[in-house]
Structure 1
């Protein structure tokens, strides 16, 4: 009986992770639009993205250089294209605690980013280097 109780307890603990569903485009849009989200990977800062109306975005690797783009849903994934990189970059987003978890679907190593924090203020973009 003790073994059955232990097995049931383990199964109940595993259910939330197994039952976690990817966010739909509508859920993602409702969550992200109007926010600036900072992402991390393996405990390190990774980048920041501002989610604008009409599914427009602005991304930076936290270096002050920003890339404008758009996002759309394709086959249950959220795909991004940027002005300087027209090939789609597709992610699966999950609600993870108080934030998001994003799994990069184009990467065989399945890069995973976590929402580190969010802000309602626009991100800083310094623009291209200007010469004399």
Structure 2
């Protein structure tokens, strides 16, 4: 919580955004393929949200990895099968716009949107 308060003080432009709870983000993402992009519009990656709190992450170069998501306080955390460390995010909503802030890089927002999996998702379908 202390980190969140410090971050909110430093991130003045984001103060109008509403922090999404992990449950709100899960409801938004459930069954979707989400695209994550940086402010320049370059795609950072895509992620399919599967049943049982599973995810399948894909980078633009086609690298795919599975994982699990879980709530840790007000953060959504991801534990990928090929990574040793949890990756936790805060997600914010402003109208129809969703922004994610990675806990190790609060200064770089990632924009989140539901995408058409047939055009952008590099990994095969898993259920």
> Where on the TM-score scale, by shorter chain, does this alignment land: which range?
0.7 to 0.9
Contact 1:67-1:83 within 8 A present in 2 as well = yes
Correspondences of 1:100-115 after superposition (within 5 Å): 100-107=98-105, 110-115=107-112
**Partner of residue 28, structure 2:** 31
Q: Secondary structure at the match of 1:87?
A: coil
Q: Where in structure 2 are the equivalents of 1:82-97 lying within 5 Å?
A: 82-97=80-95
1:1-80 residue pairs with structure 2 within 5 A? Answer: 18-43=15-40, 44-80=42-78
1:70-119: CA deviations, max 9, x gaps?
11111211111100003111100112332310000123x53310025523
Q: Following the alignment from structure 2 to structure 1, what is the Cα–Cα distance between the partners of residues 97 and 56? A: 19
Q: Could you tell me how far apart the structure 1 residues matched to 2:93 and 2:47 are?
A: 17
How many matched pairs? 109
Whole-angstrom distance in 1 between the partners of 2:71 and 2:26:
10
Larger C-alpha radius of gyration, 1 or 2? Answer: 1
State whether residues 38 and 115 of structure 1, in contact with CA within 8 Å, keep that contact through their aligned partners in structure 2.
yes
RMSD of the alignment, in Å?
A: 2.2
Q: Distance in 2 between matches of 1:77 and 1:20?
A: 15
